[in-house]
Structure 1
């Protein structure tokens, strides 16, 4: 907590006033990281040139989980560290593993809308495809962090699956 006070340019007492414990600070920091990443992702998705194109929209959403710039690379590393700690910390796990699945629901909604508009393969199950896309991109992002894959190779995998789901 001393290091955080120094980094923030405030006294240790100020940090202790706002956070009851180091654990409370860690949980709050994780929540703030989620909120900041959500804000950045929404801004990038809203900046799309063709927001009505389901493939472009899904690509933009999925790319948010790839370390394509320093901010996302750092965020992914921090999330990985928090995730590892959450395996033994129920309060951190609650931040990661809550009942809502907004990303999966968003991806499924895009796929469902594309299917209803005749722009997606008619036999897809949007919810199951969303689960696979989201979990897949998370793992692929970690592969990029570990330099097991390149962003370009991951982009090819994403294109492959989006073409399968949303044929041109």
Structure 2
């Protein structure tokens, strides 16, 4: 009897291999040959599941975003239903920062996609901006919960966007070795203190 193949699991194995290749050498390094070698499978199998490099890259990007979604859900579940807006924003922001080896690798993958976006290669801005927009909306909702009497709703949106962009900047600075993980957490807490004092 032939062995049944879990196609979703196989796709996952391939995108996991692609993440490792991208983290080590960027999107240009993620050829079908390199990903196949990392996954221990044939190039033909990758072509069967993804067809083109672009499709493989987009699936890899989605895999990172989905993993982060699971991580956020777990962190927020641990906080419980009575979590304050600051606790929610902090938990999600810390989850984005490369504070351990897995998140470091995932952020290197995102950096590869960011570089490709800047050069117009493989991915577009529209394909890259879904997650940041979602975060800005989520943080805006949390800040409104904290500041229901805010007279300027636009100020709340700007504060939420500032937090997301600061986390992005801290991430890039950690990856480049310009700030320690501990210092990044300190800077994040300082920003949240100032934003939530309004």
Q: Find the aligned partners of 1:145 and 1:99 in 2 and give their Cα distance.
A: 20
The structure 1 segments of at least 4 consecutive aligned residues displaced by more than 4 Å after TM superposition are 121-124
Deviation (angstroms), 1:42: 2.2
Question: Which of 117, 122, 143 is equivalent to 1:86?
Answer: 117
Residue pair 1:66, 1:72 contacting (<8 A) in 2 also: yes
- Root mean square deviation of aligned Cα: 2.4
Deviation (angstroms), 1:51: 4.4
2:196 counterpart of 1:137: no
User: Aligned with 2:147: secondary structure?
Assistant: helix
**Aligned position for 2:69:** 38
Flag the 1:150–1:123 CA change in 2: closer, same or farther, 3 A: farther
Higher helix share goes to which structure? 2
Deviation (angstroms), 1:58: 1.1
Q: Find the aligned partners of 2:192 and 2:180 in 1 and give their Cα distance.
A: 18
2:11 counterpart of 1:4: no
Q: Find the aligned partners of 1:142 and 1:19 in 2 and give their Cα distance.
A: 30
Q: Deviations over 1:72-110 (max 9, x none)?
A: 111111100111011233651232034981100000000
What TM-score does the superposition give when structure 1 sets the normalisation length?
Answer: 0.84
Give the alignment of 1:11-160 within 5 angstroms.
11-48=42-79, 51-89=82-120, 92-93=123-124, 94-98=126-130, 101-116=133-148, 125-160=155-190
What TM-score does the superposition give when structure 2 sets the normalisation length?
Answer: 0.73
Q: Which runs of 5+ in 1 are unaligned?
A: none
Q: Which runs of 5+ in 2 are unaligned?
A: 1-31
**Aligned position for 2:21:** none
Aligned length: 164
Flag the 1:126–1:45 CA change in 2: closer, same or farther, 3 A: same
User: Aligned with 2:79: secondary structure?
Assistant: coil
Flag the 1:67–1:100 CA change in 2: closer, same or farther, 3 A: closer
